[in-house]
Amino acid sequence: MSLRNFFYSTFLLSFCTIALPAQYTFTVDEHSPYTSVKSQDRTGTCWSFATTSFLESELLRMGKGKYDLSEMFTVRTIYEDKALNYILRQGKANFGEGSLAHDVLRAVEMGGAVPQEVYSGLLPGQTSYDHSEMSAALKGLLDGVLQGKHPGSRWDDAFRAVLDVYMGAVPQEFSYRGKKYTPKTFAEKLGIKSSDYISLTSFTHHPFYTSFILEIPDNYSNGSYYNIPLDELVAAVDKALEAGYTIAWDGDVSEKGFSARHGLAILPEDPRRPDLFDKPGPELKVTQEARQEAFMSFFTTDDHLMHIVGLAHDQQGKKYYVVKNSWGNLGPYGGVIYMSEAYFRMKTVAVTLHKSVFSK
């Protein structure tokens, strides 16, 4: 599917029941409009794809119309921010391809936004993304600067030049739908404000009902998360989805029960059972204590972001979250994954959503 083929995803809107023969049968209970499934290809930019998709749904929810926003413009903005952080911390900071949902919100305020058709991040002739060489070149440049002990005043220009070589230069001004914009004025038109959103998590190594800086490697910008009990986190997400909101999800997809190819994320009691992805079966009962133990022992890590767009249930009545991934149209549901509540309870690191879901 072309990255520029922007449309409402219609399979949820057109069908209330989705099934594979003699396998899982899902009935969608709640859903909100979302944009077409895209692919991050060979990059570690799921955070940008997931949260950009989330913002596109937010614009639809707010009645501002359909937009296909550039994920790679945001990636550039965050790379530049990471570079400054890495230099000022004298290399004692994380510098890589990963970031988090709140960084996309920060990027819109720091650098603005542009449509995908204005800036794709692809060079002429390229049809897919691969940042492996670019990422190594960028870090090598920064490490070289730090070896000089006293950074000069031109390293940031050199850094942006490398981004230009691999991703193309960013237009300072562009025309879109008959009007001229800069990235900043286009972002102002969208009206996305980071202060309208909140990130929630649920861990017991910090007090509940307080905010703390979540200790995960990709939180280079020291983003703050509000900590609530697990049952309340699930209830908050369900309430948001039922009210027509969507959720930016951050969590772990390393479990054997996660399979994008099968369109499933489940937490089976026996992950070795031969019919794991053929039909529903018993799942683990996830407690706050089990979740905490998995996080502290690194069995749950922050390794992927996706976009939750709805609620569903299977033929046994078990609840699932309808999740839009960023690995292209992989799997039987066109790039969408059905995540069980058990998987969500154990493997969710954090969620980001609009504050208006909650009372004061």
> Using one digit for the tens of pLDDT, what is the confidence trace for 216-263?
999 999 999 999 999 999 999 999 999 999 999 999 999 999 999 999
Answer whether residue 1 is part of any domain: no
Q: Kindly report the CATH number assigned to the domain that includes residue 346.
A: 3.90.70.10
What residues pair up with 181 in beta bridges, in sequence order? 174
pLDDT band at residue 6 using 50, 70 and 90 as cut-offs: very low
Which pLDDT value is given to residue 1?
38
> Using one digit for the tens of pLDDT, what is the confidence trace for 267-322?
999 999 999 999 999 999 999 999 999 999 999 999 999 999 999 999 999 999 99
Rounded to whole angstroms, the Cα distance separating 254 from 260 reads 11
Answer whether residue 156 is part of any domain: yes
Answer whether residue 3 is part of any domain: no
- Name, in order, each residue with C-beta under 8 angstroms of 8's C-beta and a sequence gap of 6 or more: 33, 34, 35, 66
Q: Which residue has the higher pLDDT, 148 or 327?
A: 327
Question: What type of residue sits at position 176?
Answer: Y
- Name, in order, each residue with C-beta under 8 angstroms of 360's C-beta and a sequence gap of 6 or more: none
pLDDT band at residue 10 using 50, 70 and 90 as cut-offs: very low
- Tell which phi-psi region holds residue 307, choosing left (phi > 0), alpha (psi between -120 and 50) or beta: beta
Answer whether residue 6 is part of any domain: no
pLDDT band at residue 23 using 50, 70 and 90 as cut-offs: confident
Number of domains in the chain: 1
**pLDDT > 70: percent of the chain:** 93
Answer whether residue 4 is part of any domain: no
Rounded to whole angstroms, the Cα distance separating 126 from 103 reads 27
N-to-C CA span, the chain:
42
> Using one digit for the tens of pLDDT, what is the confidence trace for 338-359?
999 999 999 999 999 999 988 7
Which pLDDT value is given to residue 218?
97
Answer whether residue 43 is part of any domain: yes
In terms of residue numbers, what domain contains 218?
A: 11-16+25-357
- Average pLDDT value for residue range 110-137: 97
- pTM for the full predicted model: 0.92
pLDDT band at residue 360 using 50, 70 and 90 as cut-offs: low
Which pLDDT value is given to residue 107?
98
